[in-house]
Amino acid sequence: MSHIQRLFIGTCVVTCLLTVLSLAGCSVIKTTYKVIKGTVKGTIWVLKGTYHLTAGTTKVVYHVGKFTFEVIRAPLNYALTHEELETIDGLPPKEAIRQGRVKNAPYVVKGRQYVPMSVADAEQYEETGIASWYGEETRRQPGGHMTANGELFNPRAFTAAHKYLPLPMHVQVTNLDNGRSIIVRVNDRGPFPSDHNADSGKRIIDLSWGAAKELGFLSQGVAQVRVEVIQLEEA
C-alpha cells in the first residue's frame, strides 16, 4: 500500500477554494485544495487544479475549513506594525515589501539579524511554547497599519507574527490550557524582546487580538500553545 493510499484511509475529504495573494505582482492565484483530515500530523492541504492569475487585484477572500481569511494589500504609506524592523533583505522594509523580497528574507531588528527558515523546512515545523498577542494598540492609533509582508493589519482577523516562518504561511494553533484550536495566517514578524521585558522575545508566536480572543487567553496575555504548519502538497 502506498503512502498516499494510507493517508486516505479513514479520512474525511472536504473541498474548499483557496485564493492566495501575491503582493509583489498584485496577482491573484486561484486553485482548489482538498482537505485530508485525520493524518498523523495535523492537516494536509493537497493542491488540485490549475493556477489562474489575475493582475491588479488588491483584495482576496478565501476559506480554510471553517475559517475565512481576507487579505488586503496595504498602502505603502501605512505604518508598520513593528516599526523596529530596520532592514529586510538588506533594504529598507517598505522597499523590500514593494519589490516582493520578504518571504523568507533575512531581516534586522535592533541590530540583530534574524534568518527565517526555508519553505521546505517550514513545512515540517511544529513547536510548543508561549504565545502572546498584539494589535489592541493599533485600534487606538489613527490610520491603518501594515504587516511585514505588506498586508493590511486587522487586529480582529485570525493572523499571527512569527520570527522564522516564511511569509505568508498557515498554522494551526492549539491552546494547551483549554484545548481550543484555530488556523491563522502568519503574515508578520515578531515577537521581539521589548525594552522592558527581554524575555518577551522567547515567545514563539504573537497572535492577533482576534485570534487570542478565539483561543481564550486575552485576559491572561499569554498561553502555552502548540503551533503546527498546515502543509501544502501538490497532488
As for how many domains the chain has, the answer is 2
Query: Is the pLDDT at 10 greater than 50, yes or no?
Result: no
Measure the CA–CA gap between 36 and 43, rounded to whole angstroms: 6
Query: Is the pLDDT at 13 greater than 90, yes or no?
Result: no
**Residue finishing a domain among 72, 101, 131:** 72
For residue 161 the three cell numbers come to 507574527
Same domain, 222 and 120: yes
Same domain, 213 and 138: yes
Same domain, 145 and 212: yes
Same domain, 31 and 133: no
In a domain, 80, yes or no: no
Measure the CA–CA gap between 132 and 83, rounded to whole angstroms: 18
In a domain, 104, yes or no: no
Same domain, 128 and 35: no
Measure the CA–CA gap between 61 and 227, rounded to whole angstroms: 23
pTM of the model: 0.78
Q: Which helix (H) or strand (E) holds 19?
A: strand 13-22
Same domain, 221 and 154: yes
In a domain, 153, yes or no: yes
Same domain, 207 and 151: yes
Whole-number mean pLDDT of the chain? 78
Measure the CA–CA gap between 176 and 226, rounded to whole angstroms: 7
pLDDT score, position 20: 40
How much is the CA Rg of the chain, to the nearest whole Å?
18
In a domain, 178, yes or no: yes
Give the Å distances, CA to CA, from 81 to 78, 101, 138, 148, 235: 9, 18, 8, 8, 37
Three-class secondary structure of residue 74 per DSSP: coil
Residue range of the domain that includes 204: 116-234
Share of the chain above pLDDT 70, in %: 71
Measure the CA–CA gap between 188 and 74, rounded to whole angstroms: 13
In a domain, 90, yes or no: no
In a domain, 42, yes or no: yes
Same domain, 56 and 124: no
In a domain, 44, yes or no: yes
Closest CA to 25 of 103, 99, 105: 99
Query: Is the pLDDT at 1 greater than 70, yes or no?
Result: no
CATH label of the domain that carries residue 176: 2.40.40.10
**Residue finishing a domain among 72, 107, 128:** 72
Q: What are phi and psi of 203, to 5 degrees?
A: -70, 145
Same domain, 120 and 222: yes
Same domain, 66 and 150: no
Q: Are 52 and 27 in contact (CB under 8 A)?
A: no
Q: How confident is the model at residue 3 (pLDDT cuts 50, 70, 90)?
A: very low
**What letters, b where the CB count within 10 A reaches 16 and e where it falls short, cover 194-203?**
eeeeeebeeb
**Residue finishing a domain among 49, 72, 95:** 72
pLDDT score, position 101: 95
**More confidently predicted of 199 and 188:** 188
Same domain, 148 and 220: yes
Query: Is the pLDDT at 94 greater than 80, yes or no?
Result: yes
Measure the CA–CA gap between 189 and 187, rounded to whole angstroms: 7
Measure the CA–CA gap between 168 and 185, rounded to whole angstroms: 7
Q: In this predicted model, what pLDDT tens digit does every residue of 19-28 receive, in sequence order?
A: 344 444 433 3
